[in-house]
Structure 1
Amino acid sequence: MLDIAKLAGKIPGISHHFQQEMTASSQRLELAKTILQQAQNQQEALIERYQTWRDRLIFSAAMPVEPLDTRITIVPPPHRHSVFATDGSQIAPSHHEIAYCYLINVGRVMLHYGQNLHPLLDSLPEVYYRPEDLYVSRQWGIRTEEWLGYRRSVLEAQCLADMACGWVNPPGAHHEPNLAMVDGSLVYWFLDGLAHDARDLILVPIQEAWEQLKAARIPLMGYLSASRSVEGVNFLRLHNCTFDTPNCIMNCVDVEEQQIPCKVIEPLRDTTLWGENLQPGQRGPLWQSSARILELYDEAQRIYFCYVNVGTEIARIEVPGWVAEDQDLFNQGLGIMLAQVNKGFGYPVALAESHNQAVIRGGDRIRFFALLEQQMIRAGLQNVGTSYKEARKRGSIA
């Protein structure tokens, strides 16, 4: 139990710390705005500098594919359009439960506007209990709980593609603009460091699902709220470098971190900087992510992003290369995305609803294991029940 009386004495220190941090952040922001204006005049030179020296840098910077001063007002979508979204939740395996298994629940949402059609709001549960499902990841040193999260990403992508393409592909019907949305990044950072075979079991089916969307001309978009990315700000570090050659390993290995010239605006985030430059309904320049993990992606699936002032925040919007390179698809997706944010009072309504469909609450978990217990007893299994530890934790003498 949390002792609020004891906690109250620590709050003033926290407030003082954040007050100091806000003052320092304001100073960094003003400096970053000045650096951004200077970098606009030498953008091509900075891009060339990065491409030449990127192997010697200790940070990853995104590459702008449009001028840094780009400000484009997003065009509203047509009255008739459709939105598809998926999100996932899970029950992790536990040796203290009735059976060692895990469950992934994928929420699906399909919303139609201006078409007089019923929406789809449901979820698809999958239970994994076979040894090949539970222990396959052990050969690569990956815990089952981690593998569960990776498998969830695959199911979300596959369910999204099946739902969207199944609606759009039947001949003679649904040709209104569409958008497929996911909550979070399209850059799967967790792939870094995975064994080759393990990586293929995750990335290959995801990219196959994306190829389905590409063939159906349904733009895919990842929506990141409260993004912590610094890829855009890192591009400005090339401007701040005072050395003739930006070789971090050679130039700054013996320099104290506070004195490294290119880090004067850290830890400023992209969203903070672009929040000063975008009006509601505007997007900033398009960037190509240079994250090394993207070298594992197919060329057409490399990730691009931009920042959009959606009215309530600066959102990071990610798309695969085949969307970014198709101006019609890109603009179509941005227009529908912004309309979704407005309908959802600050967050895309399709993503919020897909989360609500996917989430597994405490009562759902209890009913799942109760159903499993009934089936195991009917099958003639003996001594079915939770461990003494789990049973004791569910009660209290307090």
Structure 2
Amino acid sequence: MDQEIAPFLLFTENDYPPDTPHLRMELALKPDLTEDSDCNLNVTIQRTRDMHEEQCIFHWNGREDGCGPLGFLLFRHTENGLRKINIDMDSHLSKPLQTPFVVDGFNYTFEVAPEGNVGFLITLPKRYRKELKTGAKYELVWPGGEIAIWDWGTINQYLGHELGIKSPKICLPAARVTLEFTEPGTPKLSVVLECEKTIPQYSKGPVRISVTYEAAPESSPIIFHTAPFGSWYGPREGFRLYRRRGDLWETVEEDDSCYMIVDEPDIAVNVVQDENFAGLQPGQTWTTSERLDGHLPDDVTAGDLFRYVFKGVEVDWWDWGGNTEHKNTTVKLPCFINGRVVEPNDNGGRQKLIVPASNSVEFTIV
């Protein structure tokens, strides 16, 4: 076990008491976990070679013993090693088993032969799952424990009979499994536009732009480059302005006659500190505005009806995680700042984030 985990371990394979079955735990999880999938833990309790040839039975409740106050621990991989995460156990209502109890073949009673094993599934409770973030890596650790309710024999031999605490107790040594949520594609961003119904001819007439991160509350936060939601204008992305001409909407063409020549080095920026990047928690909204002056045609007159819409865009840089995860993340922008991220030029290999078109807003010039 890692040095960060070792102080939390209660029992190892060096702690088997004499005259008890030698049990060990193996843990497994599906390799393609996402935040939307069931977090089912496959638990196998194997009996290794010991001094006894007879079978044994024991009681072990995955919900109470595995996920209770003395159960599984959660550690997160960080740049500085493994960090223990405190699990909120206040919501856990423990139901102690009354002993002795009558064996009926159920009640989490298991039977295992020499060098045999038993297996079952445990669904990690919400108090564990809410701590897990997409893209992060964790270690789920069984710190080791004792099984007090056990005896030699089979379940059939004990059916209808009482089973209680036996001394010495069985030692169930420490075990661990790596847990990692894969990135479920890309985050979902939506755009909504708002503006006044009437706009004075010589007014700046701003349009309010709201970008919302649509995700379940327990999802990972995200951080992204906001420039694509500004003045970018491409053949298939960005903002479009239309003017009503009779029964048709006519595209108002942008004036592309201006240009600039730049020969300065690219600028490195911190994505948490730079104003051209924004972080969002699930359900949060980032807002900006776009001025209409400069977009309206020169021959605009009172009574003209316009429609404004965001056609959608590909976000050039984004990543999972919030300010804590990205406090040391830097990227490079062109020297004139308001351009695509130039390094990394492939968004670090992450999938393309395509934001769909927004609603349209209409306004009349007065």
Q: State the TM-score, normalizing by the size of structure 2.
A: 0.21
Higher relative contact order structure (alpha carbons within 8 Å, sequence separation ≥ 6): 1
Answer 1 or 2: which has greater helix percent.
Answer: 1
